[in-house]
Amino acid sequence: MIFRRPFYNPTWDFRSAFEELERMRRQMDEVFGELERRPQRLLGAGVFPLINLTEDNNNYYVRAELPGMKPEDINISATGNSLSISGQRNIPSEGEDVRYHRRERSAGTFSRVLALPGEVDVDKAEASQMNGILTVVIPKAEAAKPKQITIR
């Protein structure tokens, strides 16, 4: 047997339903307003430069993609267990009357700071650049190098 109330009124009335819709609209406005305030973080090209950090028993190797940049436009500094790469990336203007269909390459200043996994010997660090790849070789400090322990 099915029991049905003839005048069933749910706990929501028209007023509370519209209040709920208004609350959802305000939340959507907050989300889209946040997108408008920070478009470069969400729609930008991402982190520049792209970096790989590797190591072997004696050195840390940092390789950064810096296509088209001159060595004098790049600043590298190392302290304790961190490495900083910064500089100015300039892209020549295409002209006054040029209309872009796609623009993904960005220009301006950049800075990346990497935390290295261990202590380094900053005085012996070397850097070179070839084919748009910056390679920084940083020797590990003697205290950070693995020690072979012999068994007696």
35 Rama sector, left if φ>0, alpha if ψ -120 to 50, beta otherwise: alpha
Please say if the pLDDT value at position 104 is more than 70: yes
Domain count, the chain: 1
CATH number at residue 117: 2.60.40.790
- Does 28 map to a domain? no
CA distance 116 to 82: 5
Residue 131 lies in a domain: yes
Yes or no: say if 114 and 63 are a contact pair by the CB < 8 Å rule: no
What is the token pair recorded at 132? 């748009």
Task: Report pLDDT digits (tens) over 33-81.
Answer: 776 665 454 444 457 889 999 999 899 999 999 988 999 999 999 887 8
Query: 14 lies in a domain?
Result: no
The answer to whether residue 37 is domain-embedded is no
**100 and 121 Cβ atoms separated by less than 8 Å:** no
- Domain holding 81, by residue range, is 46-90+108-139
Residue 145 located in a structural domain: no
Note whether residue 115 is domain-resident. Answer: yes
For residues 48 and 50, give the distance between their C-alpha atoms in angstroms, rounded to a whole number: 5
Residue at 123 is within a domain: yes
Residue 13 within any structural domain of the chain:
no
* pTM to 2 decimal places: 0.63
Q: Is the pLDDT of residue 12 over 80?
A: no
Distance, in Å, from the CA atom of 49 to the CA atom of 111, rounded to the nearest integer, reads 8
